[in-house]
Structure 1
Amino acid sequence: MLSDLLSSLSSNPYFGAGAGLIGIGTALAVLRRSSQYGLIFFRRQYMITLEVPNNDISYSWLLQWISHQLRDSSRHLSARTTLIKNDDPSSRIQASYSFVPSVGTHYFRYKGKFIKVERTREQMINSGVPFESVQLTAFGQDRQIYIDMLEKARDAALLANEGKTLVYSPTINEWRLFGHPRRKRPLNSVILDKGILQSLINDVEHFLSNPYWYIDRGIPYRRGYLLYGPPGSGKTSAIMALAGHFDLSISTLNLSQGTMTDDRLQQLLSNVPEESIILLEDIDAATVGRHYEKEDAIRYQGMKPLTLSGLLNALDGVISTEGRIIFMTTNYIERLDPALIRPGRVDFKQYIGPLTPYQVEQMLIRFYPQSTSEEINRFAKQIEDLTANYSQPISAAQLQGYFMHNKDSLNDVFDNVKQIFRL
């Protein structure tokens, strides 16, 4: 029959003239277009797709969770290396390797359904940071399956980061996890003057546990702190300890960067990770120390540098967000504009100065628990005489470095006390 059909078509003058070929081509094009529309209709009616971009907070959670689902089936992987330091002081740093799905297509089965995973990567021209996304496709119309996946991925990430503090830093207009999660810093490892740390704890706790107190009184629900004092006095260490105590992450901003503009700062502060402390270190350098050459270069690129007005509006203007905690630090409070540290922008100011006798005693006890009361009094007297003779205060960082230098012998601590100023 096929041969008869071909022979009849070949003898047909219209077909031989090309009309038949045109008709077959048209029929094939219609068939192809119909199959495409049919496939689109099928996907819209009987399949559901979820896309998660890498600027979404759940991206890294989901990618790690998917890697566990694909641990036995996928053959296309990307490596992630983590350096681990155990609690054992004698142990060395070890490398831990984990694998996530590489760019491409993967499949796994979840709750009786086959899930198609497509990971894509696109190089961004302006920022140089590649844009990635993960797209999941499954049969059915129930989106609850994706909600379950995201919740499981979140729970797994929280469990992996339990007992650790996350630190975020900005890229362009979004936040990325900086380095690896850090072990929480215990409160008792930060020794400030008597009562200072406890007053900070009480204030942060009242803020976090009483949001409706602010709402009922029409007060913006945000809190600003300023820790000021000489370098090495423990300002940043106190913030790290507070973040660990309240299970908060830290989002750190360097306002002195040449690429920091008013618009960029507003964008970053509007999408800070939830339950995070915003840390603005060396706030005095935010709008000073910019050379005209750098400013002209920035303007040439179409970017205006950060201004004091832009900083103030970002902190408590109309566009500022609610429910956030901002910690600022500075070594030179006299350089700060009064408008920056007025009530409403900074609600809690705390001076953290050089070592006091109380700190000297507590630090000696912490580093040398076996020390007696006589030894404590003797060392406190040595420090008092040392600061009087040199007319130079000692910071907590200096004393800590001195203890670390003489960590093996308490006698060396007494005999070499003048070395504090040489370290």
Structure 2
Amino acid sequence: MSEESVPAALASQAELASSSGAAASHANTSFIASIIGDNPYFQAGFGLMGVGVGVTALRKGLSVSSVALRRRLLVSLEINNKDRAYEWFLAWLAHQTAAPRSGWARSHQLSVETAYEQRKNGSAAVLFKLVAGPGTHWLQYKGAWMQVKRERETRSMQLMSGTPWETVTLTTLSRDRALFGTLLADARDLALRGQEGKLVVHTAWGTEWKPFGQPRRKRPLHSVVLEAGVGEKIEEDARAFLARRQWYADRGIPYRRGYLLHGPPGSGKSSFIQALAGSLSYDICLLNLSERGLTDDKLNYLLSNAPERSFILIEDVDAAFNKRVQTSEDGYQSSVTFSGFLNALDGVASGEERIIFLTTNHLDKLDPALIRPGRVDLAALIDDASPEQAKKLFTNFYGGDDVGVDELQRLGNRLEKIVGDGRAAGRRVSMAALQGLFIRNGARQAVAATELFVKVQ
């Protein structure tokens, strides 16, 4: 083959290959087009894919539009369980559920809150309160519908109390956002109205103070009959302390006061503290040092964060510590140490602006370090009934009954002599015992019952 014919042959082969490739490509394209064009399954598949893409785009658009619409037309308010308004709102919601009005959507998801109190005599008091449980609820308030969503986070707990975090979220139209403030004000007023003119007893739940039961009617201070001058002395000291806040601050003295009431059981120690709290418009925070799980740091936190205008009452402190070791009646040893208790009373980390009342039936069992000045500023003996106390209690009980004034005086003098003679013979009677006799009997029968009671002591 000549040199001139080689390129020509190569070109001819290249053209042939090119034409063959083009023909093959055209054949493949024609084959695929024939399959797609003639096969109904492929046509249906592409149609469904198009519908799916359209639905996805529509769903996305609706989601974005819904979020934008909610942001413009709806407003939400979140209340967490660390805020005081949380319990106020739940109590208000429970009140509305108990007495629904027109337009109110009754809640079908309820939660129970149980308050339990173990008394020293072995009896117990249990109170139940039904509130809106976790979930979604609806209510109508002043013509506006609101969504109420209560959520509970069980995977994380509050560090000190160990209770789960909870939130309540209120959602309504943006035009009705001003109703949030009105609703919370109503909830606050309902809570305070239930406590107005009454005494609230708080108990420790973990590291938080919570009201126990319903607010109690204040007991008149004159209804607790003590030895002449004892009650007046304590009341005068407490009022003087409350009036000298700036005096303490100017002299750098911690603004706190400690009282110790000691005496036999049934002499009126706790009753007097309750009546004094009501007279000063104070509440009572009842603290049990033998509570399981109570430690030094929790005790310090509770004493430093007691509700405003409240007495901290620690009863039977002699039973809490025996030789500086705290033990309960069943032998359980608590984590609260005697030194921790002393530091919580007046240590460096102890709180201020508080009044503590301690009670005991056995003053001789208390460690001198506990009752030294600074921890106990005033100690008072609340003893068994004296003849004068017995007569005064008798006249208070029967003064408005059918007994005439002269007969009441005669019966009172006789009762006074009975109690006096019995006390001289070592047969004492408590004020609680006398009160029980007076409740069960009339004036004449009460004197006879008291005489018999004193004789058998």
Same fold (TM over 0.5): yes
Q: CA deviation at 1:18?
A: 12
2-structure distance, mates of 1:292, 1:225:
23
* Residue 393 in structure 1 maps to residue 422 in structure 2: no
Q: Secondary structure at the match of 1:320?
A: coil
Are 2:435 and 1:404 aligned? no
Distance in 1 (alpha carbons) for counterparts of 2:226 and 2:329: 41
Which amino acid letter does the alignment assign opposite residue 388 of structure 2?
A: Y
Does structure 1 retain, via aligned residues, the 8 Å contact 2:422–2:455?
A: no
Which is worse superposed, 204-213 or 342-351? 204-213
Please say if 1:346 is aligned against 2:383: no
Q: Which runs of 5 or more residues in structure 2 are unaligned?
A: 1-35, 115-127
Match of 2:410 in 1: 374
Judged with a 3 Å threshold, the aligned counterparts in structure 2 of structure 1 residues 75 and 110 are, in CA distance, closer, same or farther, namely closer
Kindly indicate whether the alpha-carbon contact (under 8 Å) linking 2:326 and 2:337 is maintained by their aligned counterparts in 1: no
Report the counterpart of residue 24 of structure 1 in structure 2: 53
Question: Structure 1 residues 238, 21: closer, same or farther in 2, change over 3 A?
Answer: same
Please, which of 61, 65, 86 is the counterpart of residue 59 of structure 1? 86
* Percent pairwise identity: 42
Over 3 Å counting, the alpha-carbon distance change for 1:149 and 1:204 in structure 2 is farther
The separation in 2 between residues aligned to 1:260 and 1:17, in whole angstroms, is: 70
Alpha-carbon distance in 2 for matches of 1:368, 1:419? 19
Instruction: Indicate the SS of the match to 1:218.
Output: coil
Q: Which moved more, 1:215-224 or 1:98-107?
A: 98-107
Determine which of 340, 347, 352 is the counterpart of 1:322: 352
From 308, 312, 323, the counterpart of 1:274: 308
The answer (yes or no) to whether the contact 2:294–2:336 under 8 Å persists in 1 is yes
What residue number does 2:22 align with?
none
Matches within 5 A, 1:5-24: 24=53
Cα 1:38–1:218, aligned 2, differ >3 Å: closer, same or farther? Answer: farther
For 1:261, the aligned partner's letter is T
CA 1:287–1:44: 2 relative to 1, 3 Å: farther
How far residue 41 of structure 1 moved from its aligned partner, in angstroms, is: 9.9
Which residue in 2 is equivalent to 1:250?
A: 284
- Structure 1's 348 and 415: CA in aligned 2 closer, same or farther, altered over 3 A? closer
Q: State the secondary structure of the residue aligned to 1:35.
A: helix
1:192 paired with 2:229, answer: no
Structure 1 residues 29 and 333, CA gap change in structure 2 (3 angstroms): farther
Letter in 1 for 2:395: I
Query: Aligned equivalents of 1:293 and 1:165: distance in 2?
Result: 30
Secondary structure of 1:169 counterpart? strand
**Which stretch shifts more, 100-109 or 163-172?**
100-109
Aligned residue in 2 for 1:75: 106
| Unmatched 5+ stretches in structure 1 | 1-6, 83-96, 299-303
Provide the secondary structure at the position in 2 that maps to 1:47.
strand
Q: In structure 2, what is the equivalent of residue 118 of structure 1?
A: 149
Task: Report the Cα offset of residue 190 of structure 1.
Answer: 0.3
Matched positions, count? 393
Kept in 2: contact 1:399–1:420 (CA 8 A): no
Cα deviation digits, residues 37-75 of structure 1 (max 9, x gap): 97389549963422231x544333212323566623122
| Shift in alpha-carbon separation, 1:172–1:14, aligned structure 2, 3 A | farther
* Residues 127-146 of structure 1 aligned to structure 2 (within 5 Å): 133-140=167-174, 146=180
Q: Which amino acid aligns with 1:193?
A: E
Flag the 1:49–1:421 CA change in 2: closer, same or farther, 3 A.
farther
Query: How has the CA–CA distance of structure 1 residues 12 and 61 changed in structure 2, closer, same or farther, with 3 Å as cutoff?
Result: same
Higher relative contact order (CA 8 A, sep 6+): 1
Distance apart, 1:142 and its partner CA = 10
Do 2:419 and 2:454's aligned partners in 1 also have CA atoms closer than 8 Å? no
Q: CA deviation at 1:344?
A: 2.0
Secondary structure in structure 2 of the residue aligned to 1:329: strand
* TM-score calculated relative to the size of structure 1: 0.77
One-letter identity of the residue aligned with 1:383: V
Q: 1:130 to 1:20 in 2, by over 3 A?
A: closer
Distance 1:293 1:236, change over 3 A: closer
Question: 1:287, 1:306 within 8 Å by CA — same for their partners in 2?
Answer: no
Distance 1:162 1:324, change over 3 A: same
CA contact (8 A) 1:14 1:20 kept: no
Is this contact kept in 2: 1:227–1:328, CA < 8 A? Answer: yes
| Matching of residue 179 in structure 1 with residue 234 in structure 2 | no
One-letter identity of the residue aligned with 1:252: L
1:68–1:356 CA distance, 2 compared to 1 (3 A): closer
2:390 — aligned with what? 360
Backbone CA RMSD of aligned residues: 4.2
Shifted more, 14-23 versus 235-244: the winner is 14-23
